[in-house]
Structure 1
């Protein structure tokens, strides 16, 4: 852990990166990758959620998206989810919360350490859940480290019944079976980076085969720093799995 196909797809260039439009229907689920483990999610009902905001120091984040001022305007999130305290996941959480007034949802100990007003802090633990707009955020385990607090993954449950799982930093572990049994994630934002701190692409692919039945797999936490897995290594590990959707930093896909 470092300080960092659909035949129907239509790709267009924009000033903030490449946007792949998977559906033009109203109320689609929007997923934008900001690089590493950072994502902006917009629910079918329009609730904007930011996950693991490592942005200003993230070499993978497009320059046009690195300014935090946008989070106080049109891109204002309703909530910021922080999987753990390491700076390549949490670097900009406090600053964005101060600029936007967004809730911060994380492990109780970490959330409480940010010095934010109590009304903005939603600290919890594994098994907990919070309602944000039309989204229910479930806190699930991750096998990693964090100080203060413990590492988490997040399952976002949307009003249309679909679920999205952000693994956070983790290794494969048996309780992933319970995440599948309880939440049946349709979309998995899957850590694959390897190196000294997290599961590598081969192990991540095994985790999906053994425990999950998603329709979409989006790899993350790779290619940001030397020593992390490359895109080629990710594609090799998932060879033949048509559910794999490799995104590029700044890209938005709609499901």
Structure 2
């Protein structure tokens, strides 16, 4: 079983029952959660880019848990007190205890000089393949990601202004040929206010996909 736990914005964890992968650990300034960084347990932390709402509390949580931070080198340089790190870069893949990760491109600013924003394809051993796009615009190479892997679950931003909005995110679902989608990165602040039901209606009308609207504090079993 892979359990998706949503903390609001783009912060979530994937729990295999043995390892916990925490993604874009934004807690302290996240208005959608009351959970404190000290309450979080994890083994790995994936960071898509260095904006405050994604790098978030990575360093603090990694110290508490002895977790490995996985990110591009420029982002890891901002976590200089952490010894357990795994640098990756766009297009590269690497095996981990839970499966493997490939780092994908994202069309977005990175929040650190010389850096790039990224996404992640996460393939779990004997489990689903999960694609998290990170903050991104729609880009045509999503079709390559979808052709290269069977995407069981895609986790995509829909907030607009900083990322894709509802319409472009629905087109991304088409490109990826994802079987299931979870929208994120919306309703954190007024500037990214969106109705996920509109995204659900749009995406399901143009693609063979099921959209799962997971509220902050809720979980979803990805093995079903």
Q: Do residues 224 (structure 1) and 188 (structure 2) align?
A: yes
Specify every segment of 5 or more residues in structure 2 that has no aligned partner in the other structure, as ranges. Answer: none
**C-alpha distance in structure 1 between counterparts of 2:128 and 2:200, whole Å:** 26
Q: Give the match for residue 35 of structure 1.
A: 8
TM-score by length of 2: 0.91
- Extract structure 1 runs of 4+ deviating beyond 6 A: none
CA spacing shift, 1:108–1:35, aligned 2, 3 Å: same
RMSD over aligned Cα atoms: 1.6
User: Counterparts in 2 of 1:109-148, with a 5 A limit?
Assistant: 109-118=74-83, 120-146=84-110, 147-148=112-113
**C-alpha distance in structure 2 between counterparts of 1:207 and 1:220, whole Å:** 14
**C-alpha distance in structure 2 between counterparts of 1:117 and 1:54, whole Å:** 17
TM-score by length of 1: 0.80
Q: Secondary structure at the match of 2:100?
A: strand
Work out which structure has the larger RCO, using CA pairs closer than 8 Å and 6 or more positions apart in sequence.
1
* Alignment size in residue pairs: 217
**C-alpha distance in structure 2 between counterparts of 1:216 and 1:239, whole Å:** 10
Greater Rg by CA: 1
**C-alpha distance in structure 2 between counterparts of 1:121 and 1:154, whole Å:** 16
The 8 Å contact of residues 82 and 89 in structure 1, kept in 2 or not, is answered as yes
Q: Which stretch shifts more, 124-133 or 83-92? A: 124-133
Post-superposition Cα deviations, 1:26-83, rounded to whole Å, max 9, x if no partner, equal xx1100111010011012x62210000111110112x2xx212223xxxx21110000
Superposition deviation, residue 174 in structure 1: 1.5
Q: Give the match for residue 95 of structure 1.
A: 60
Of 39, 45, 69, the match for 2:38? 69
Superposition deviation, residue 234 in structure 1: 2.9
Q: Give the match for residue 215 of structure 1.
A: 179
The 8 Å contact of residues 121 and 130 in structure 2, kept in 1 or not, is answered as yes
